[in-house]
Structure 1
Amino acid sequence: MKVGFIGLGNVGGKLSGSLLRNGIDLTVHDLNRELMADFAKRGAKTAQDPAQLMRDCDAVITCLPSPAASDTVMQQMLPEIKEGKIWMEMSTTDEAEVRRLGGLVLAAGGAAVDCPVSGGCHRADTGNISIFAGCDRATFDRIAPLLKTMGRRILHTGDLGSASILKVVTNYLATANLISCCEALVTAKAAGMDLNTTYEAMKISSGTSFVHETESQVILNGSRNISFTMDLVKKDAGLFQDVADRNNVPLEISPMLVKIFADGIERYGERCYSPDIIRRLEEATGLDILAPGFPAEMSDDEPEELGYEVIPQGSAQTQAAEWSDYGA
């Protein structure tokens, strides 16, 4: 299968790098010509525009910063979409918008998938990130080898758009957890606790989480570099709030998170790393939340492995497997 990839930024560059590293026939496109040149040096082909990419490839993956960017790219690709072509949207985007754009692809005879990732840029770099995929089962089976090359845990979430809902749900949880970790670290410091000891207490307790075990480390280092910026948090939090509003869910914590990051952007700029939101509390208390021995950036020390499909607990597939084991 010939694969095209549009968007070679923090996440897209790493996901497409996994495809290239594992021998996939890859053609790339990005507005940044230097990024394209780097991929060309590593063996990828390059396309001048999204239309050429869709014309020349069987599947085209987009990993872009906003729904508006995805729409712009889709308008260029659409005349080249026909039966057999696949569009895979790996951007974090609005589920209503991905269904609208996917509907255009389906009407042209192609197949559409929303397949955002979760687990941090350091895992995207090693092919060990998790991927959600929303599409019909037949399409999922066609693209599964690509997903298992870019990620480790692959979850078929249901119809087109379902993966985007779950992506913003999980990003909301990560954002809430980041704010709670910031508050916990500052409160511990204010109470006279050693921050190295505090980190370990949080890690080995019921209070631990993926966010604590990654982002708290770069907070304590002082770099706050998680390759994710405040403007992206604000965008994702807004997408989650939109899902809740469309479904008449009266959220209480979500609006507070949106407000906190809007304030962080006003103070420090939209391209400031998201864990630097702790500066609001550092400034309010006069405390520096720093400790020795923590890395400036996260790295994935797990070996790259071929991905596998995650089967939801209680699903018909898991029940069939359980009955098969019982019969054996």
Structure 2
Amino acid sequence: MINTPNHKPLVLTMGDPAGIGPEITVGAWKALRETGPVFAWIGDPACLPSGTSYEEVITLTEAARVFQKSLPVLPLSLQAPVTPGKPDILNAGLVVDSILRAVGLTRAEDAGAVVTNPISKAVLRRAGFPHPGHTEFLAELCEVPGQEVMMLASPMLRVVPVTVHVSLREALDTLTTDLIVKVARTTAHALKRVFGIATPRLAIAGLNPHAGEGGHMGREEIDIILPAIKQLRAEGLSLHGPMPPDTMFTDSARENYDVALCMYHDQALIPIKTLDMENGVNTTLGLPIVRTSPDHGTAFDIAGKNLAKPESLIAALRLASQLATHRAANPEPPEKRFT
């Protein structure tokens, strides 16, 4: 059997229907149909590749039953016909509805986890979507705004950006000791409870070249980062740093930590996407549910051309199943939930 009562089906959102989401969804289902994890896709089957074997279902119990022979679809209806590579803001509402439904099913414990297909932030913003991206929207839906932490993970590396979807200038302005402490605590807690790492080792990146060179290339390490490290060590966390960002991602350096905390978005995402783009997975820590996604975007330029590779989505589905299993095995009373 590829599904048991201890492994609830996952829910996969539609993403932007004009992107590669429909193609990689089918590719992932074909790769996982015999082994699992079982998942149901929430979207309009009209945007699936021609010839896809799918079955509309009402419940996730039905999804588990049909998964080996057909892609289970929890149906929604698009507002406008889809042309691959040409997004339409008329369908933005449905993109959001797919996320809403996925989160609802998972918070109700009908689904084991949410996996999200890529969305176009630009398209959603033009339609009035007020959030910078999935991560912040999911935190609001889960009633924990501000507690969300973005991690990208692959077999080669895990990274967490302390500042996320802001400009580099704004990242420098918003980086504080308190923010580093908060992100590190959430990350360490998740690595223990959800990833099953008993004593997580965190590497803290410096901000400036050579981690500031003792203050000669900037004082952020001295004034902001080192006080955070001192506080976290006093709380019993295992930390290294601040480490020079240009050397902390070498093969030998990565052996010494379980996750790298980076000071801004690209400092974290460039190394993992360079090292292991195909197997990289985006997961949101700090939520009362498990959420993962591929570590790439909508790829409108190749949508509908049979060029999209499903490996990152497959990795996201597998990781979501693993994390949901770890989380279920380590229940946490609501009144003691980490914040």
**Higher RCO structure, 1 or 2 (CA under 8 Å, sep 6+):** 2
TM-score under structure 2 length normalisation: 0.27
TM-score under structure 1 length normalisation: 0.28
